[in-house]
A and B are shown apart, each in its own frame.
Chain A
Amino acid sequence: MSRINDVGGMTGFPAIVEEPDEPRFHEDWEAHVFALNGALIKRGIYNLDEFRDAQERLPVAEFLGSSYYERWFAAITTLLAEKGVLAREETAP
């Protein structure tokens, strides 16, 4: 069964918008999330496929309501909890 991330051919999304002179990251925390993910994969806490999977199995409403790097952070905290590295309470809002 396909998941919510599998959007090829779907209809109903809004128009494509191109942002002129887009920065690499819009906010500082996004760069930190990007770097954190690379560090955790490098350290073998989880691998790239597990990271993708963790994003793709986010609850649909959370997935669609989150920005790109918010999804990344949700996947990271999910994996850290599942791997027994940090408890859910430690990473919760």
Chain B
Amino acid sequence: MSGEHHSSDISARVRRVEALLEERGLLGPGEIDQRIDEFAAGGTPANGARVVARAWVDPGFRARLLDDANAVLPEVGLSMAGGLQEQRLKVVANTDDVHNVLVCTLCSCYPIALLGPSPSWYKSEAYRSRVVRDPRSVLAEFGVTVPPDTGIAVWDASAESRYMVLPRRPAGTDDLDEAELTALVTRRGLIGTALV
């Protein structure tokens, strides 16, 4: 893995490639820094959490979300078109009968617009290889015990299609407003490796 020497080597190579591309007019001055800043200001799991909380309080929104997520995201000021290309989004709801969990077995496809950058474990061979073969034990390692009579659906994302989990609303949250509900939802809940 990346030792200090190795890290400075690749760092210098990246800088060299950027400089050469700038010389040849293929990168604008400051273009890379601007992109980094934009990315840092972009998607976070709070976006996905906002979608979930709206679905919990608004049954009509929930039904439309599960039917055609791309069409309803603008209702909460979000979109799947902000990246390199518009991606289809399917939102999958946890129920008594099924617990959903996301993966990208081929690489690291992930709904960045709604969840921000993905965690390293999501991109690891360890997670991608096992969660499709033995999701129940992988979920148990994350502290999620799925009852034996509850099925597990594993959704494998691709370059064109992304998924997000709609967790179940926790019991005892009837008094919370939409903002308070949003604060309950975690990144792992939106991936399916946590209950909320």
Interface residues on B, range: 35 or more
Kindly provide the distance from the CB of B132 to the nearest chain A CB, expressed in whole angstroms: 5
A45 touches B106 (CB 8 A): no
**Which residue of chain B is the closest to A25 with respect to CB atoms?**
B117
Residues of chain A within 8 A (CB-CB) of B125 are 7, 10, 13
B105 touches A36 (CB 8 A): no
A9 touches B121 (CB 8 A): no
Among B11, B103, B106, B126, point to the contact of A15 (Cβ < 8 A): B126
Question: A32 vs B19: C-alpha distance in the bound complex, in angstroms?
Answer: 12
Please tell me the number of chain A residues within 8 Å of chain B, measured between CB atoms: 49
B17 touches A86 (CB 8 A): yes
Footprint of B on A, CB under 8 Å?
5-11, 13-19, 22, 24, 27-29, 31-36, 38-43, 45, 48-49, 52, 55-56, 67-68, 70, 73, 76-77, 80, 85-86, 90-91, 93
Footprint of A on B, CB under 8 Å?
1-2, 7, 9-11, 13-18, 20-21, 24, 26-27, 31-33, 35-36, 39-40, 84-85, 103, 105-108, 116-117, 119-121, 123-130, 132-133, 138, 141-142, 156, 159
A-B contact pairs, 16 of them (CB 8 A): A7-B125, A8-B128, A13-B125, A13-B129, A16-B121, A16-B141, A19-B120, A28-B11, A29-B14, A31-B36, A34-B36, A39-B32, A52-B159, A73-B14, A86-B20, A90-B16
